[in-house]
Amino acid sequence: MTDIKIKITDRDGVLHEIDAPTDMNMNLMEVVRSYELAPEGTIGICGGMAMCASCQCYVLSDTELPEMGDDEEAMLSEAFNVKDNSRLGCQLHITEDMDGLEVELAPEEL
């Protein structure tokens, strides 16, 4: 299997069911960008270095995800609109274990 199913609710509340490739070295932020689920320039601003929180999302399913790294934890401690289920999309590398993942994009920081 090279594609998994992910449900992403965009910032306007619209649900998208998409196929995400596991063999393209992509992370969740990049998947969102590749499907253009958030306007360019409003997501993945730092490019995926966990140095902005523009790809913050809320994890809605109980999918098991890799543990947070120090960088991600540090960034989320300073981000706005953070909830207990917040993660940075750029730090979630797409793997087969994530099949069925459901997330909601956090609002854009203004």
Partner 1 sequence: MIKTDILIIGAGPTGLFAVFEAGLLKLKCHLIDALPQAGGQCSEIYPKKPIYDIPGFPEVLAGDLVDNLMEQIKSFQPGFTLGERAETIKKLEDGTFVVTTNKGTEHHAPVVAIAGGLGSFEPRKPLLENLSKFEDNGVAYMIKDPEVYRDKKVIIAGGGDSALDWSIFLADVASQVTLVHRRNEFRGALDSVEKVQELKDKGKLNLITPAEIIGLNGDTQLESVLIRKISDDNEELVLEVDDFIPLFGLSPKLGPIGDWGLEIEKNAIKVDTFDYQTNIPGIYAIGDVNTYPGKLKLILCGFHEATLMCQSAFQKIHPDKKYVMKYTTVGGVSGFDGTKKEAPKAVVKAIE
Binding site for partner 1 (CB under 8 A): 39-42, 45-46, 49, 51-52, 54, 70-71, 73-75, 77-78, 80, 109
Whole-angstrom CA distances from 66 to 3, 12, 13, 37, 87 are 19, 27, 26, 23, 10
Provide the minimum distance between the beta carbon of 97 and partner 1 in the complex, in angstroms, as a whole number.
28
Between 3 and 71, whose beta carbon lies closer to partner 1?
71
Please give the Cα distance from 10 to 25 (Å, whole number). Answer: 22
Q: How far is the CB of 38 from partner 1 (least distance, A)?
A: 11
Q: Which token pair is 4?
A: 């998994």
Residue 104 parent element (H or E)? strand 101-105
Calculate Rg over the CA atoms of the chain: 13
Nearer Cβ to partner 1 (15/74): 74
Residue with Cβ nearer partner 1 (4 or 76): 76
- What minimum distance in Å lies between the beta carbon of 87 and partner 1? 17
Between residues 62 and 70, which has the closer beta carbon with respect to partner 1?
70
Contact yes or no for 49/42 (Cβ under 8 A): no
Q: Whole-number minimum distance, CB 6 to partner 1, in Å?
A: 23
